[in-house]
Structure 1
Amino acid sequence: MDFTWQDLVDYLLALSGAIPEEGSGIYFLYEEDNCLIEKLWSGTEILEQVFIAEDVRTNTPALYLLDGDTRLVFYVDTQNVLRRSRYDTDEEEWQVEGEEEGDIIIPQKSKLSGCFTPEGQIVFFQNQSGLLQGIEFRDSKCELLNPAPAEPLEGTRHLVLRSTDENLYLFYIGQDRYIHYLIKGPETGEKWQENILKSPIIEQNVTNFMVIPDEDMKSFETHLVTADRLMGIDKQGEFIDFGKVVEGKFTPNSGKECVIETILLVKKGVKAIAGKALKTKKK
C-alpha cells in the first residue's frame, strides 16, 4: 500500500490504528453503535471489517498495539471501565481478556496512549486530577502507577513512544498550548524529565497528532489535524500548512502532496505509536 496524505488524515481521525507487519493496508478502529470495529483499509477500499467488542462507550478512546503476531486493543466500556481485547490468530477473532484484573475507571474526556514494554504493556490516561497516569500490564496483572508530572489540556490526545534503549517518551499538549514531552528511562535515571518541543504556540484545537523522531530521539517532526487543516511542525519548530480537511477529505496545498520522504516517515510514526520500539542511533 502506498501511504498517502489522505491515509494520514484518516488515521488521525480514527480512534486508533496500526500497520500490519506483513501484507498491505492499515487497520483503523471505529466505534459504531457502541461496538468497537476494526477496518482494514487498502488505500482504495475496505478489505475487512471485524467486530472487536460490544457495550463500548460512545466515542470511546482507543489504543491499538501491534508487534509481530501480537495485536491488542484497549478501549472503554459503557461503565467507563478500561477493557482489553487480543486477536486470537488460531480462532481468527478478537477476544476480551483481563476482566479478572480489576476495574480501572477512565474519566469521560480522557484519551488513551501506550506501548509495549519488555514485561508487557503500559497504558496512559488522564485521571480525575488532570494528570497523565500509567497502568502497567504484566503476567496477567495490572498495576496503577503514580501519576506523571504531565497535565495536558483536558480531553486532548497524548502519545507514547519507546526506544530500544528502554526510554519512554510521553507527548502531550500542555495547558500553555505547546507540545511537551517527558522522558523516563536509563537516560534520566528512571525519573521523569520534562521537555518542550520546539514549536509555535498551538492556537487551534487539535483533534489528533503524531510525533516522528529522528534516530537519536533528539529532534522531532509533528503532524496534526485540526477541525479543518492538516498541519506539520518541522524540526526547526516552524508550522507547515499541508492543506484543508473538510468532512474528513483532504485537499492539499499546491506542491505539498509530493513530499514522499515525509510520507515514508509518517509510516514509521504510525508503527511507533502502535507500540513498536524505535531503534536509536548508538551514541
Structure 2
Amino acid sequence: MKKFLKTLSVALASGAATLAMAVPAHAQFGGIVLDPTQSAHAVQQIYNEDKSLLNQAQQIASGSQRNLTLIEQLKQDVAIAQTALNTYQQSVTTYNTIFNNLKYFNTKQIWHTAENALLHGSVQNTYGETAGLQAQMNGQSQNSSLVWKIMNLAISGTSSSFWSQEVVGNSQRLSTLAHIEAMDAASSQCLAASGAYQASRTANLQANTALNTSVYDTSNNTNSEVEQLNLLNMQNAQRMEEEHAQGQLHACMAAQAAVTNMDKRNEASLTLNDANYKITQQANNPAYLGNSSQTWTTYY
C-alpha cells in the first residue's frame, strides 16, 4: 500500500511540473488556445487531491495497525478469561468435594464394630494354693514373682553339701535347677505382662471409648479435614501403644517356648548320657556268664 501511494504521488507531481512549465501559445489555424491561469489552478487541484489521497492512505494504514493491536489485545483478554474460568471451575470442584464429604462421609455406622470386652480370669483358690493369681491375671496386683512362688513346690536340696560336687555343664542336678529357675523367671514375667496389659486396657477404656465415639460421629464438627487428621493421629498413637503391649506378650510367649525347649533338651541329653554310661560300664565290667557269648554285653 505504501509503495503504491509513493508511486501515485510521484506521477502526479511530474504531471503538475510539466503543466507548470507550459508557455502561453496563440491559436494557429483556428486551434485551441492554452490558458496558463487555468493550468495553474488545475495543477494546484491535482496536488491537493494527491495530498488528500496520501492522507487517506496513511489513515488506512494507521487503522490497520490499530486493528492488529486490538486483535492481539483481544487474544490476551480471551486467555485471561479462560484462566479465570478454570480457576472458577476448580473452586466449584473443591466446594463440591467438601460438601459431599460432609454430607455423605457422615454415614459411618456400616464401619462400626464392637470392641472386645476385657476377659477377666476366675481362679479357684480352695486352700490358698493360688493366692493372688486371679488378681495378678486381671491387672490388680504387682506381685507376680510371689504369686508364682506360692503356687509351686519349693526346692529342699539347698545345703552346700548337696551342690558342692556338682559341675556346671556336667551336672543333672544343676541342669534341673536351671530349668526350674528359667521357668520361674519366664512365668513371673508373663504373669506381670498379662496383668499390666489388663490394667492398661482398664485405664484407657474411657479414652478409647471417647475416640471411638468421635470416629463414628456424624456431625460436621468432627468431619472437617483438620478434625479427621487429628483423629487419624490419635488412632495411630493408640495403635502404637497397643502394638507395644502386644510385643511384651509375644516376648513372654517366646520365653515360655524357650523354657519348654530347655526341658525337652534336658530329657534328650539325659537319655544319651544314660546310654553312654551303660555301654561304658558293660565294656569295663562284663557281666556275662563263663563260657558264654558276649551277647549281653551290647544289650541295653
TM, length-normalised to structure 1: 0.21
Structure (1 or 2) with the greater strand fraction:
1
**Which one has the largest radius of gyration?**
2
Structure (1 or 2) with the greater helix fraction:
2
